[in-house]
Amino acid sequence: MIQFDKVNKWYGSYQALVEVSEQIAEGEVVVVCGPSGSGKSTLIRTLNRLEPIQGGRILIKGEDIHRKGLDVNEFRSHIGFVFQQFNLFPHLSVLDNCTLAPMRLRGLSREQARERAHALLQRVGLAHKADALPAQLSGGQQQRVAIARALAMQPPLMLFDEPTSALDPEMVGEVLLVMRDLAAEGMTMVCVSHEMGFAAEVADRVLFMDQGRVLERATPQDFFNRPQHPRAQQFLADIRSPFAHQLENG
């Protein structure tokens, strides 16, 4: 479904993606991990054209999504994107947050859009908050609304960029559960996440990035138990025992 073909990306003179070639199948759940600054967000943002690339190609269902002449807004409306900051429309109710784009961009009637939104809010456990404003919700609830809002556009692909990183620890689980259900229903998902428990349980494949390169691609079982690349081994050691690294470095 998704094909990265020798993708190179620079920010000025800094190369943020180096010869990235990967394939992601329909229905696959891929978790991208790696140290801060390794290019994870950049990779995911090139997938919905939030970032241009300077070399290579990215195909989705055979279509070159960085080609000239692509209607970027139209294209982007078909890809669900959930990121750290939930960015709900603050002046709109939870329900209206979920109906706006389907009405405007997909031509749904208000009634159709509301029906769809209600079903999705039910699915993320927030049907009872339909009339609330975002500010009246917890962070975890807001992020679940953000997922429902993205799903309201019926995207074939969902991208997540550290969706739980801005949440208080007790709210991480409720968002991961929604993501797990989505994965179980067969959604194609690319998730940047530091939640290694989630990766171990839900991912079909883990990609490990460092310095703009994908250094390792493996099943979660292999990645967590038998990481091959020294940097992946170091990364896993660091996240398992954050103090060890500090001690080594004085």
Q: How far is the CB of 15 from ligand ADP (least distance, A)?
A: 9
Which of 22, 28, 31, 38 lies at the binding interface for ligand ADP (CB under 6 A)? Answer: 38
Q: Are 20 and 7 in contact (CB under 8 A)?
A: yes
Our finding on whether 36 is near ligand ADP (CB under 6 A) is yes
Q: How far is the CB of 236 from ligand ADP (least distance, A)?
A: 16
- With vertex at residue 51, the alpha carbon angle to CA 220 and CA 27, rounded to the nearest 5 degrees, is 35
Please give the Cα distance from 23 to 1 (Å, whole number). 8
Give the span between the Cα atoms of 102 and 109, in whole angstroms: 9
Dihedral sign from CA coordinates of 12, 15, 19, 21: negative
Select from 10, 29, 3 the least CA-distant residue to 212. Answer: 10
Size of the site for Mg ion (CB under 5 A): 1
Please, which residue, 10 or 224, has the CB nearer to ligand ADP? 10
- Which of 41, 99, 164, 193 is in the footprint of Mg ion by CB under 5 A? 41
Instruction: Give which of ligand ADP, Mg ion, none residue 52 binds (C-beta under 5 to 8 Å, depending on kind).
Output: none
Q: Which residues contact 8 (CB under 8 A, 6 or more apart)?
A: 15, 17, 18, 19, 20, 53, 54, 55, 56
Tokens 């975002």, located at residue: 134
CB neighbours (10 Å) of residue 104? 11
Candidate list 2, 7, 28, 39; residue touching ligand ADP; CB under 6 A: 39
Chain positions 8 to 27 lying near ligand ADP, rule: CB under 6 A, are 11, 14, 16
Question: Does residue 79 interact with ligand ADP by CB under 6 A?
Answer: no
141: partner contacted, choices ligand ADP, Mg ion, none (Cβ within 5-8 A by kind)? none
The SS3 of residue 87 is coil
Instruction: Answer with the entry of ligand ADP, Mg ion, none that 37 interacts with (C-beta below 5 to 8 A by kind).
Output: ligand ADP
Does the footprint of Mg ion cover residue 97 (CB under 5 A)?
no
Q: Binder to ligand ADP among 24, 30, 41, 187 (CB under 6 A)? A: 41
| Residue 45: CB minimum distance to ligand ADP, A | 7
Decide: is 144 part of the binding site for ligand ADP (CB under 6 A): no
Select 14 or 243, whichever has its Cβ closest to ligand ADP.
Answer: 14
How many CB atoms lie under 10 A from the CB of residue 109?
11
Residue in the structure block whose two tokens are 């908050």: 129
| Chain residues that interact with Mg ion, rule: CB under 5 A | 41
| Chain residues that interact with ligand ADP, rule: CB under 6 A | 11, 14, 16, 34, 36-42
